[in-house]
Amino acid sequence: MQPASVEKRPSLSVVAPGNRAPLGYDLSLPLVIDLDGTLLSTDVLHESLLLFLKRRPGEAWKIPGWIFSGRAVVKNRLADVVTDDDIETFPACDEVVELAQKEAERGRKIVLATAADITIAEKIRRRFPFISEVIASADGHNLKGAAKAQTVSAQFPHGFIYAGDSTADLHVWNAATAAIFVGRSSAMEQKIATKTQLAAVLPTKLLNFPTLRRGLRAHQWAKNSLVFVPLILGGKAHDPVAWAYAFGAFVALSLLASVTYLLNDLWDLADDRRHWSKKLRPIASGDLPIASAMLVIAVGGLIAFAIAALIGPACVGVLALYLAISLAYSFWLKREPLVDIFVLASLFTIRLALGLVVTGVVFSPWLFVFSMFIFLSLSAAKRQTEITRMVAHGLTQTPGRGYRAEDGPLVLSLGVGAMLATVLVMVIYLVAYAFPEGFYRHPFFLWGFPIIIFLWLSRIWLLCHRGELNDDPVAFALKDRLSLAYGAAMVAMFAAALL
């Protein structure tokens, strides 16, 4: 099929948003746009499935039956849980939206043609007013591939311009007057160009290592260095076998922690997109596709437990406990005020337990009590920061959490109280244990510990109270020069006490 009129073939070079030239085709040719991966940088079927599992978990057993009834039935049933508010938060492809808006302003008809259910398509049209018509799956008919090509060709027998992103769109491109490719695959461009005139290439967001690293929250792996603490404090710092086991546990825990982060982000997707900072996370922003995240979760989890199995059953057991508590936190407990703070502190302490069981160090109640109090304080600081920012953004309740604006003073009091308890536990340990046991050759150097801990935690809470603290105080400490200086001083004092 040939274009009704061609003024000039547009340049296929990538240009900055806002500077793209209009399509050089007769305005009588409609611009037909795909939805998943084209107008939106996400897949609405995956989005619908996540929303269904979260809002109607008791009906999950119905999904296998729907699958046997056909893909269109699955889409129709899942579409019921997707609201207009959800649609508003789905990440859009800015390049496609810009092009469609400009073409609509020029007088070109914009049509949404998607394999998504018709109810979803209509909600998409309400979000994007430039769409004048929708063609979508309905009445058990899945409008994808050849079926979409046949329907669109029958609707527009005089030709159309089609914008898509995947191999399923090749059927439609073959029937189109001109093609717009939304993506970065040169091989796909060549396939399209052999059958249809390629009018434009709109690059999508690139899934690269930095994006994946942000999704995995690799910077949070520093927290897992707690597995080495029992090794050092337990007198096995010169044991290479213990170091090897601890390192293996560190890698396994880091992978598993990243898996839980991704699961948490998938479960909280709708809430994160309404959050002032979490909306920038890779999955929420559309930088990391849901399907890719699920693949990483499966592979990361298998590798983590495979490493743990090589270390021993105790390592597998502690990792399983960490996973169970993390999932309970993500799916339920983080919405329970104050309980969530205790659970977060417990997850930090489990890191110490992992280091203890893989290295065979003797259990020390002092270490675990100290850990619970210091991480209770830091977890409270994290929640207090969210409450402060919530108030600053004019909200009365934190998205996806159980805290209200008036809870700030209580959380502040609990956090500062836990801070003081942390210092007290350290002092009692020094008086009752460090000196009499003779483990340290020069234990008086350890008296600097409670001083530095008090100064550091007080600084955290001061910045928190001022609204100047990062969402995560641990991540803040890893970048804060004064916090790093405090840490270096404590390392030096510990070394001086031992030598």
Q: Is residue 116 part of a domain?
A: yes
Q: Is 473 found in the same domain as 376?
A: yes
Segment 369-391, tens digit of pLDDT:
999 999 999 999 999 998 888 88
Across residues 205-213, what is the average pLDDT?
85
User: Mean pLDDT of all residues in the chain?
Assistant: 90
Among 332, 349, 383, which residue terminates a domain? 332
What is the reported pLDDT for 437?
Answer: 56
Q: What is the CATH number of the domain that holds 260?
A: 1.10.357
Q: Is residue 26 part of a domain?
A: no
Segment 171-198, tens digit of pLDDT:
999 999 999 999 988 899 999 999 899 9
What is the reported pLDDT for 20?
Answer: 61
What is the reported pLDDT for 398?
Answer: 72
What is the reported pLDDT for 471?
Answer: 67
Report the domain count for the chain.
Answer: 3
Q: Is 321 found in the same domain as 221?
A: yes
Q: Which domain holds residue 414?
A: 364-499
Q: Is 231 found in the same domain as 161?
A: no
- pLDDT at residue 436 is higher than 60: no
> Which residue shows structure tokens 């249809």?
196
What is the reported pLDDT for 402?
Answer: 82
What lies within 8 Å, CB to CB, of 191 at 6+ separation is: 170
Q: Is 319 found in the same domain as 279?
A: yes
Q: What is the separation of C-alpha 303 from the centre of its chain, rounded to a whole number of angstroms?
A: 20
Q: What percent of the chain has a predicted confidence (pLDDT) above 70?
A: 94
- pLDDT at residue 405 is higher than 80: yes
pTM of the model: 0.84
pLDDT band (50, 70, 90) for residue 9? very low
What lies within 8 Å, CB to CB, of 70 at 6+ separation is: 140, 142
Q: Give the sheet arrangement for strand 178-182, strand by strand.
A: 133-137, 110-117, 31-33, 161-164, 178-182, 197-202
Q: Is 219 found in the same domain as 195?
A: no
Number of H helices, E strands in the chain: 23, 6
Q: Is 312 found in the same domain as 398?
A: no
Q: Residues 259, 297: contact at Cβ < 8 Å? A: yes
Segment 243-294, tens digit of pLDDT:
999 999 999 999 999 999 999 999 999 888 988 788 889 999 999 999 999 9
- pLDDT at residue 8 is higher than 50: no
- pLDDT at residue 415 is higher than 90: yes
- pLDDT at residue 10 is higher than 50: no
Q: Please, what is the end-to-end C-alpha distance for the chain in angstroms?
A: 84
Across residues 73-81, what is the average pLDDT?
93
pLDDT band (50, 70, 90) for residue 475? confident
Helix (H, G, I), strand (E, B), or coil: what is residue 133? Answer: strand
